[in-house]
Amino acid sequence: MPRSVFEKGADDFKRAGGSRLMFSATLGEVTLDPELFDKIRYAKHLGFRIGMYTNGFLLGSLCKELVSLVDDLVISIGDINPSLEAQIFGIPEVLARKKIQSLFDLVRYNAKEGKPLRITLAMRSQRSFATLYKDSRFCALLDEVNIDFLFGYDNWSGTITSDDLLGVMKLRQPIRKGNIPCQGLRRISLLPNGDIRLCACKVLKNESDELVVGNICHDDFAKIFSSKAINSLHKKFEQQEYPEVCQQCTRYSPLK
């Protein structure tokens, strides 16, 4: 994402009352952005709390920046056993070993600095939590990180089946949507071209779909949320005519 687009989005979001930014890619990996930490510094200057979601493969070279600039870091990880991590992510075991070692390096550096960074491991394991708990390396992390152990897996709008899962992994059960709009319509994401898209949970074909409701480069940010595009999406849910990307989603959560 060009820095000018990001800064425009951050400025407008702050004026609208925003207080937290999450750096995460729906598709891809956020740490591959060469301007990532420049953008984070800009957002910190505006007073945002910074969150980040990463696959963790580049942790080893980013320890100092992450600990000094990021408030909440979520790392997607399958297992602290390198061979199992390699199976889950479909990567060479040598890369899995490097990732896990980098995780421990980050945890140690964070502890040395007084734990300013809140680290959460998004565990996507083929082993049960009870089995993981017997692993001494996993237990060594429990006092240093938060664990978000996934028990039910999203079907990514029907593109993932039980055949794609390993071990104890199970697909979530479909949720009846009814006529109440989803909370995902309250979550916004800023795309590289300036498009504002609701819900960052998933993409079916591409990100230029029905959930795009405006563009930060030429639309008034504050007015977007009373726009025809927003109202149309709410009406579709009320009439149970859901956008294609939402039809088989298992992450539906009704607005309260």
Going along the chain, which residue ranges are E strands? 20-23, 49-54, 72-77, 118-123, 146-149, 152-153, 170-171, 188-190, 195-198, 212-215
Residue range 148-164: mean pLDDT, rounded = 86
54-68, 127-141, 188-202: the lowest-pLDDT one: 188-202
pLDDT reading at 188 higher than 80: yes
What is the C-alpha to C-alpha distance for residues 202 and 189, in angstroms, rounded to an integer? 11
Of the pLDDT bands very low, low, confident and very high (cuts 50, 70, 90), residue 239 is: very high
- Kindly state the average pLDDT of the residues 117-132: 95
The mean predicted confidence, pLDDT, of the chain is 91
Query: 3-state DSSP helix/strand/coil percent for the chain, to nearest 5?
Result: 40, 15, 45
- Read off the pLDDT band of 23 (50, 70, 90): very high
Mean pLDDT (whole number) for 195-204: 85
Q: From CA 96, how far away is CA 85, in angstroms rounded?
A: 6
Question: Is residue 37 predicted with pLDDT exceeding 90?
Answer: yes
Q: What angle do CA 78, 35, 17 make, to 5 degrees?
A: 85
List all residues 6 or more positions away from 209 whose beta carbon is below 8 Å from its beta carbon. 197, 203, 243, 244, 245
Tell me: pLDDT of 174 over 80.
Answer: no
pTM given for the model: 0.90
